[in-house]
């Protein structure tokens, strides 16, 4: 009653909050300031305003003091989102997601659309339990490879990838930070929170409908853009010469290499085989690999990096310095990184071979491959005399790679640094993630406890160090959620939520609850493409509850509408971070998202309007 009285009064504070929200939306849309700056600026304005013009409760205390406005920083939903990001980083770093993704790609075989459909369905399923951002990061190069393999532009598959991840996030409580924020808002209003699978069935209905639309229509609606760029990028495919020693337990033993290609070494071409004192050159018609064979292969950095992701010791060459290729020097234990370095014009390394230079011991880095612009080399790494301008693919720990900047003999290519997956921690990461999700799904512990414990386990088990875990925490997510929660609290306490709900119900006077629900879904879905999904979720949840109360409907029904509608951020790259992630790889313009996103929003709106009233008995 107190809140409805406030709403009817429509006091000064309420209209001031509406003005602050409007100003924030303008800044978010125009991007005149970084979104983080806008978000924290909104919080500061609210703190100052309600200090000068307090919202006094019945007990005389300020209902919107600093504690109330800043409690979003410790909100369980925010903590859960950040913990999921950390767990996702652990799954990426250990190569678990990458391995699973490559298995999924193989299911599609040689059928282009089946392969793409299988990948999108897998992304949808994985995103139900893991934060969307690391899932999309892993699948971007996979979808690029699929598109190139079948002669399609990456612009045909990148937006579908992002949208599939968003659709998957609709299906469980932890699938999206948006879902957790709606749930948190319900808890703050002393209402029954969602269970882990409470909206999974209607979420799956919308997700399947949306996925079918994406698979059937997206490639027709999206432009064929970036083909020239893609061909230059992929075709540039600078080849490194690398060296593989066939060990006693190698899977290559007894296998032949027709045309210089081993089935077990995809995207690599064998240029020469050194067997004792004999050099075997193409064609390799009678060749079968034996233990001790040294394979000189040509491959792009991408292919070599992929091979190292599956077998870290595969490319460690025997430099004739007493260390066998499979042995790991003390300095190579722990996190490893790849980087490109160029032999400087006045380098002391010019004219010498790697064993003569002692590169391994001077730098604590191993040279895995050599690239020479003028011609393709057909010799072992140990026999190649370096020239100025030669590019070396090196592997080492991050601090040793960074130390190469001070080495006058080589030039470190800064942007080329890339961390390799820590495959030895894959089981630990998988166990921590599965146990965490299992605890949350069964309800044995609250979601925030399960996810935070899972993130802590990733660090405690050595999957991530503190620095890597902190890097997974996105400041944009933190600032946006804190600001959105502060605005939501201000709307609720000033009566703004009740006022808007009453206004909407009055405007639709006499309409059936199903009609109000449908139009409310469309309103929230539209605004989620202008502001962030998380802001839409926090602002509209109290309004949804008030509308449900006005209509005499269970609050859960309209809260579910907020969950699904706020996730419908398909018409612009601003609404959801995965949309921004695929923008560069797909060579998209701002309007490309609307080509597929707007029809998809209407498809989901129709599906929700038909299914939800039946499912919830309206």
**Model pLDDT for residues 355-397, shown as the tens digit of each residue:** 888 888 888 888 888 887 656 667 777 788 888 888 888 888 8
Question: Does residue 27 share a domain with residue 125?
Answer: no
- Which residues, in sequence order, are CB contacts of 5 under 8 Å at separation 6+? 495
Question: Does residue 462 share a domain with residue 513?
Answer: no
DSSP lists the bridge partners of residue 245 as 294
Contact 168, 175 (CB under 8 A): yes
Average pLDDT of the chain is: 77
Write the burial class of residue 376 (CB in 10 Å: 0-12 exposed, 13-18 middle, 19+ buried): exposed
CA–CA separation, 224 and 221 (whole Å): 9
605, part of any domain:
no
408, part of any domain:
yes
Q: Count Cβ neighbours within 10 Å for each residue of 335-345 and write b for 16 or more, e otherwise.
A: bbbbbbbbbbe
* Mean predicted confidence (pLDDT) in 188-214: 88
Q: How many domains does the chain have?
A: 3
What is the predicted pLDDT for the residue at 602? 94
Question: Does residue 202 share a domain with residue 102?
Answer: yes
CA–CA separation, 88 and 83 (whole Å): 9
What is the predicted pLDDT for the residue at 428? 80
Question: Does residue 369 share a domain with residue 492?
Answer: no
What is the predicted pLDDT for the residue at 8? 42
283, part of any domain:
no
Question: Does residue 222 share a domain with residue 95?
Answer: yes
CATH code (residue 357)? 3.30.70.1450
Contact 274, 321 (CB under 8 A): no
* Mean predicted confidence (pLDDT) in 581-603: 82
Question: Does residue 321 share a domain with residue 404?
Answer: yes
Look at residues 570, 595, 610 and tell me which one is the last residue of a structural domain. Answer: 570
578, part of any domain:
no
Question: Does residue 382 share a domain with residue 409?
Answer: yes
The DSSP 8-state label assigned to residue 167 in this structure reads H
From 77-81, 237-241, 588-592, the region with the lowest mean pLDDT: 237-241
Question: Does residue 452 share a domain with residue 405?
Answer: no
Question: Does residue 109 share a domain with residue 47?
Answer: no
Containing structural domain, residue 512 = 2-71+484-570
* Mean predicted confidence (pLDDT) in 182-191: 82
> Sign of the CA dihedral 33, 38, 39, 44?
positive
Q: Quick count: other Cβ atoms within 10 Å of Cβ 30?
A: 9
Question: Does residue 415 share a domain with residue 362?
Answer: yes
φ, ψ of residue 591 to 5 degrees: the values are: -75, -15
What is the predicted pLDDT for the residue at 2? 46
From 179-183, 349-353, 416-420, the region with the lowest mean pLDDT: 416-420
Question: Does residue 383 share a domain with residue 499?
Answer: no
H and E: helices and strands count for the chain: 27, 9
Report pLDDT digits (tens) over 325-352. Answer: 444 444 444 567 778 888 888 788 888 8
The DSSP 8-state label assigned to residue 416 in this structure reads G
Is residue 515 scored above 60 in pLDDT? yes
614, part of any domain:
no
Look at residues 399, 419, 439 and tell me which one is the last residue of a structural domain. Answer: 419
CA–CA separation, 223 and 160 (whole Å): 13
* Mean predicted confidence (pLDDT) in 240-253: 76
Contact 260, 239 (CB under 8 A): no
Question: Does residue 101 share a domain with residue 203?
Answer: yes
Report pLDDT digits (tens) over 249-304. Answer: 777 787 777 766 776 676 777 777 877 767 777 777 777 788 878 877 777 777 77
Confidence category of residue 232, pLDDT binned at 50, 70, 90: very low
Look at residues 396, 419, 442 and tell me which one is the last residue of a structural domain. Answer: 419
Question: Between 309 and 565, where is the model more confident?
Answer: 565
Confidence category of residue 604, pLDDT binned at 50, 70, 90: very high
């Amino acid at each position: 009653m107190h809140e409805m009285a406030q709403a009817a009064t429509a006091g000064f504070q309420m209209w001031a909050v509406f003005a602050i929200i409007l100003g924030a939306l303008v800044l978010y849309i125009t991007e005149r300031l970084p979104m983080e700056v806008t978000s924290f600026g909104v919080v500061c304005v609210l703190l100052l305003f309600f200090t000068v013009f307090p919202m006094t409760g019945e007990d005389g205390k300020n209902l919107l003091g600093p504690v109330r406005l800043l409690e979003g920083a410790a909100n369980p939903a925010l903590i859960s989102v950040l913990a999921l990001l950390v767990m996702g980083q652990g799954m990426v770093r250990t190569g678990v997601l990458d391995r699973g993704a490559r298995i999924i790609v193989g299911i599609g075989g040689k059928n282009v659309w089946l392969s793409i459909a299988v990948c999108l369905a897998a992304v949808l399923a994985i995103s139900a339990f893991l934060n969307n951002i690391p899932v999309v990061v892993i699948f971007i190069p996979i979808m690029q490879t699929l598109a190139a393999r079948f002669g399609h532009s990456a612009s045909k598959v990148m937006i579908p990838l992002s949208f599939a991840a968003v659709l998957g996030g609709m299906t469980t409580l932890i699938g999206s930070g948006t879902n957790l924020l709606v749930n948190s808002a319900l808890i703050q209003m002393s209402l029954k929170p969602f269970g882990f699978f409470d909206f999974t069935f209607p979420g799956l209905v919308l997700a399947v409908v949306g996925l079918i639309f994406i698979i059937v229509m997206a490639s027709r609606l999206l432009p064929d853009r970036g083909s020239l760029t893609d061909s230059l990028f992929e075709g540039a495919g600078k080849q490194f010469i690398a060296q593989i020693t066939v060990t006693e337990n190698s899977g290559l033993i007894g296998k032949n290499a027709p045309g210089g290609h081993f089935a077990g070494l995809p995207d690599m071409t064998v240029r020469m085989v050194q067997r004792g004192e004999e050099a075997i050159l193409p064609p390799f018609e009678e060749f079968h690999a034996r233990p001790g064979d040294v394979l000189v292969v040509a491959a792009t950095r991408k292919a070599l990096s992929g091979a190292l992701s599956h077998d870290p010791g595969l490319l460690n060459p025997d430099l004739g310095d007493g260390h066998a290729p499979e042995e790991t020097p003390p300095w190579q234990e722990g996190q490893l990184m790849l980087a490109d370095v160029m032999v400087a014009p006045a380098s002391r390394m010019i004219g010498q071979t790697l064993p003569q230079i002692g590169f391994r011991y001077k730098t604590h880095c191993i040279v895995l491959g050599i690239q020479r612009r003028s011609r393709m080399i057909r010799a072992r790494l140990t026999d190649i005399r370096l020239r100025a301008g030669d590019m070396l693919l090196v592997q080492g720990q991050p601090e040793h790679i960074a130390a190469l900047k001070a080495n006058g003999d080589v030039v470190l290519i800064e942007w080329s640094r890339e961390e390799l997956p820590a495959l030895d921690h894959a089981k630990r990461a998988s166990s921590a993630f599965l146990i965490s999700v299992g605890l949350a799904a069964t309800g044995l512990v609250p979601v925030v406890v399960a996810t935070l414990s899972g993130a802590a386990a990733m660090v405690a088990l050595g999957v991530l160090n503190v620095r890597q875990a902190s890097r997974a925490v996105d400041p944009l997510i933190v600032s946006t959620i804190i600001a959105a929660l502060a605005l939501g609290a201000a709307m609720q306490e000033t009566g703004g939520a009740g006022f808007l709900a009453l206004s909407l119900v009055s405007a639709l006077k006499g309409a059936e609850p199903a009609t109000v629900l449908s139009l409310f879904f469309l309103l929230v879905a539209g605004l989620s493409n202008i502001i962030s999904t998380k802001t839409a979720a926090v602002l509209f949840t109290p309004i949804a509850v008030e509308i449900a109360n006005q209509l005499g409907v269970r609050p859960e029904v309209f809260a579910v509408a907020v969950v699904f509608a706020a996730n419908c951020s398909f018409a612009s790259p601003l609404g959801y971070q995965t949309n921004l992630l695929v923008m560069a790889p797909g060579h998209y313009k701002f309007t490309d998202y609307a080509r597929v996103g707007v029809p998809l929003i209407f498809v989901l709106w129709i599906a929700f309007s038909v299914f939800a009233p039946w499912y919830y008995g309206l």
